[in-house]
Amino acid sequence: MTSRKRKKLIQKICLYLFVLVVCVIILYPYFVMFTTAAKDRDEMYALNMTILPLEWKWSNFIEIWSAAPVFRYFLNSIIIAGGATLLAILCGIPAAYAMSRMQFKGKSIFLGLVIMSQMFAPVVLLVGIYKLMTTLKLVNSLLGLILLNAAFNQAFAIWLLRGTFLSISPEMEQAAKIDGCGRIGSLVRVLLPMAAPGVVTTLIFVFINSWNEYTMALTLMSTDTLKPITVGINVFYGFNMIQWQYLFATSLFATVPVIILFLCIEKHLAAGLTAGGVKG
């Protein structure tokens, strides 16, 4: 083996070792969650507690569904995250198209305001949000959380989709217009199919942000049957004891929808992340 091949082999081994270490660091918390979820309650508070359970109690993953309305929490989260994602995409596509293809006064100012809106976290505006939702009678309402999550993710959706549209050659749209398509027709029939990776990337990021949202849901939702999983999981926090095995079991189940969504559209994700990498 030549020195050059030996150097490449060493570099490849070091790269694989680095990836392995990173994967271990990332997955270790989930491993601890999994082993803790399979422990008995008495073992959770034992003085000589080990990482692996002394006796695997798989029934914990079944008991959570009867110990609390976990299924209802999951359903609420799916409705909120799915509705917010759909609304953000439906509003973001025409806005991003206008920002990438149309010229009008105040365009630069509008883009600056879009970026500036990302500076404000929901917790900073929480008092105003609560007053607004009270006025609109949307407190304790899934619709209220759908609108809020869509609003706070709208700027990100517009910015990412705008970069995706900018990466598509305007000649494609002009060719569609020559064939008889109007502006809306060329958008739906030509641009959107070509922008699918960017739309998918925006979809998954908005869905994850909406699925993981906690602060606004905690503030606005007091009815137990309307809480999303991020808030409803608090039911396992007792006054004197925390049911860690149920808490971690529910947390693991809470990651399943996001993992399934990611696996379904993973092939489009890398293309979508680089689709907006153009100078706008």
Query: What integer pLDDT is reported at residue 138 of this predicted model?
Result: 92
Tokens of 220: 């606005």
- Name the percent of the chain in helix, strand, coil, to the closest 5: 75, 0, 25
pLDDT of residue 279: 44
**Per-residue pLDDT, 277:** 46
280 within some domain: no
Establish if 47 belongs to a structural domain: no
Q: Residue 33: inside a domain, yes or no?
A: no
Tokens of 252: 């693991």
Asked, for residue 63, whether it belongs to a domain, the answer is no
Q: What residue numbers bound the domain in which 256 lies?
A: 68-275
Q: Is 48 domain-assigned?
A: no
Provide the CATH number for the domain around residue 153.
Answer: 1.10.3720.10
139 secondary structure, DSSP code: T
Structurally, the chain folds into a number of domains equal to: 1
Name the stretches of the chain with pLDDT < 70. 1, 239, 266-280
Residue 11 lies in a domain: no
The answer to whether residues 123 and 198 touch, using CB atoms and an 8 Å cutoff, is no
* pLDDT of res. 42: 82
5 part of a folded domain: no
pLDDT in tens, 17-64: 999 999 999 999 889 999 989 988 888 877 777 888 888 889 889 988
